[in-house]
Amino acid sequence: MAKYVTDKALFNVSLRNACLGISIFFLVSLVLGVVARPSYLHSSSSLVGFIIELLANLALLFGVLWSNAWLVLAWLVAAVLFFIHWPIAVLGVIFNYGDYRAAAFFNNVFLILFEYIIILVIFGYCTYLVYSYFHQLRNSQSATPHGVVV
């Protein structure tokens, strides 16, 4: 396998089960976040982000269930968008623009930044696992069956 890819997740869990758990975890947290704070969806940028995150996690869920590498790749594209947006969100918290402080669950800037760092670490590990599963799917789909040559 490639250098930056793993065969197993934490506690020796298969990558398929880990990606299924990641998808379910993010879908449940997305729903609970909207239920806890319905005003989150009032601005159009939050609504677009919600739709992107919802579609990406549904794509990961069905990509794992159907063993479809292209659907798993859709989640990885959304992960790239997250990693592009993360520094903008940190700067938004520090310099108080874009309602990033209002969207957080804390009033303290340092707690918000700590929350963002924890989210970055968790999401980075989840992206690493999904990327590894994507490579595993691509390698299994591209392998040609070997026949006996007479």
Residue range 70-115, pLDDT digits in tens: 999 999 999 999 999 999 999 999 998 877 887 777 889 999 999 9
**Domains of the chain: total:** 1
User: 123 in a domain, yes or no?
Assistant: yes
* Segments forming the whole domain that contains residue 23: 11-139
Check residues 123 and 35 and name the one with the higher pLDDT: 123
Torsion of CA 13, 19, 21, 24, to 10 degrees: -170
Query: Does residue 5 fall inside a structural domain?
Result: no
User: Cα separation of 74 and 18, whole Å?
Assistant: 17
Confirm whether 145 is domain-assigned. Answer: no
Tell me if 30 is assigned to some domain. Answer: yes
The answer to whether 47 and 112 have CB atoms below 8 angstroms apart is: no
In this prediction the pTM is 0.86
Task: Report phi then psi at 145, rounded to 5.
Answer: -70, 135
- Beta-bridge partners for 8: 14
Q: Look at residue 59 and tell me if it is in a domain.
A: yes
Asked if the structure places residue 68 within a domain, the reply is yes
Residue 93 lies inside a defined structural domain of this protein:
yes
Residue 94 in domain: yes
